[in-house]
Amino acid sequence: MTPDQIAALTAMSAFMSNVGTWPLGSIAIAITFGPWVAMGFISRSIEKRHEAAVKMYEDNVKLVVNYEKFAAGMQDILVLNTQTMTQVKERVDSNLFCPMMRKDQRVERQG
């Protein structure tokens, strides 16, 4: 070994004897378990986002079911409106002229 390497090793050993092994041990623990802890936090956030997406889809299903009920009710209303408007059209078509004009046979009816 070169004298520079020996001096570096001596300095590191002196530093380790003054400081102790706790900083190195905590660095080793952080390197070993740090990724596991980080992945735990990331996994939890992904799980929350997934739960929110599942709730959104469940709410969409409820919305579709309620819309189907609403649409069924609207179908009945539309049928009734169509029948009523057909009756109104027939009455208007049959009553195009005033009563005096209806008695006159010369008036042609359109329709």
- Looking at residue 101, its pLDDT comes to 59
Q: Does residue 102 surpass a pLDDT of 70?
A: no
Q: Does residue 111 surpass a pLDDT of 60?
A: no
Q: From CA 40, how far away is CA 34, in angstroms rounded?
A: 10
DSSP per position, the chain: --HHHHHHHHHHHHHHHHH-SHHHHHHHHHHHHHHHHHHHHHHHHHHHHHHHHHHHHHHHHHHHHHHHHHHHHHHHHHHHHHHHHHHHHHHHHHT-S-HHHHH-TTSPPP-
Q: What is the pLDDT of residues 24-55, one digit of tens each?
A: 778 888 899 989 999 999 999 999 999 999 99
- Looking at residue 16, its pLDDT comes to 77
What mean pLDDT, rounded, does the chain reach? 84
Please tell me which residue, 19 or 61, carries the higher pLDDT value: 61
> Which pair of tokens denotes residue 8?
């570096």
Q: From CA 94, how far away is CA 102, in angstroms rounded?
A: 10
